[in-house]
């Protein structure tokens, strides 16, 4: 270890969280907080009203929290966790988005109280849930190709 660099400072430097990755981590963190708050309110308010939607909101919140943590912590294991988690996020957004469009019974407003973060491809969140995993996976790929972590 170089002189003057504390172990904490060295540990906290993840290539995934550097440069443009810092913005990615920030957006994931904000989405993690928003999805967690939304799901908590939905589940505590009236879980029986829409148990599937509220469970999906809770699942999405966990996905965003894990993705945020995995992007921040350095190491190949955490990079793999980030890749898997963000891939699950992308699949979830596409599947839930398609279901909310194709299945008439699921036609809730993306801004309605029974919507999930992923309903209508994340329209209630400005489509960020649809774009973010694509950017996240591209960023991870770029960092991996650079060969450094």
Asked if residue 3 belongs to a domain, the reply is no
State the pLDDT at residue 149: 44
Our count of domains for the chain comes to 1
Tell me the angle at which helices 20-46 and 128-146 cross, rounded to the nearest 10 degrees.
140
Asked if residue 91 belongs to a domain, the reply is yes
Asked if residue 34 belongs to a domain, the reply is yes
Taking the model in full, what pTM does it have?
Answer: 0.83
Asked if residue 37 belongs to a domain, the reply is yes
Output Rg (C-alpha) for the chain, integer angstroms.
17
Domain range holding 140? 12-144
Write the CA distances from 20 to 42, 71, 92, 137, 142, integer angstroms. 33, 12, 24, 13, 11
What are the per-10-residue average pLDDT scores of the chain (149 residues)?
A: 49 70 94 93 89 90 97 93 97 93 70 77 92 95 77
Asked if residue 149 belongs to a domain, the reply is no
Asked if residue 105 belongs to a domain, the reply is yes
Contact 56, 116 (CB under 8 A): yes
């Amino acid at each position: 270890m170089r002189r003057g660099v504390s172990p904490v400072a060295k540990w906290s430097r993840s290539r995934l969280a550097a440069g443009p990755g810092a913005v990615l981590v920030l957006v994931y963190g904000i989405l993690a907080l928003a999805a967690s708050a939304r799901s908590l309110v939905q589940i505590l308010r009236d879980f029986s009203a829409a148990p599937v939607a509220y469970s999906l909101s809770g699942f999405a919140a966990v996905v965003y929290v894990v993705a945020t943590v995995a992007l921040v912590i350095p190491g190949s294991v955490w990079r793999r966790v980030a890749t898997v988690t963000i891939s699950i996020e992308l699949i979830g957004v596409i599947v839930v988005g398609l279901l909310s469009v194709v299945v008439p019974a699921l036609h809730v407003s993306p801004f309605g109280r029974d919507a999930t973060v992923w309903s209508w491809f994340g329209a209630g969140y400005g489509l960020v849930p649809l774009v973010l995993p694509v950017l996240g996976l591209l960023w991870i790929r770029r960092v991996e190709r650079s060969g450094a972590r």
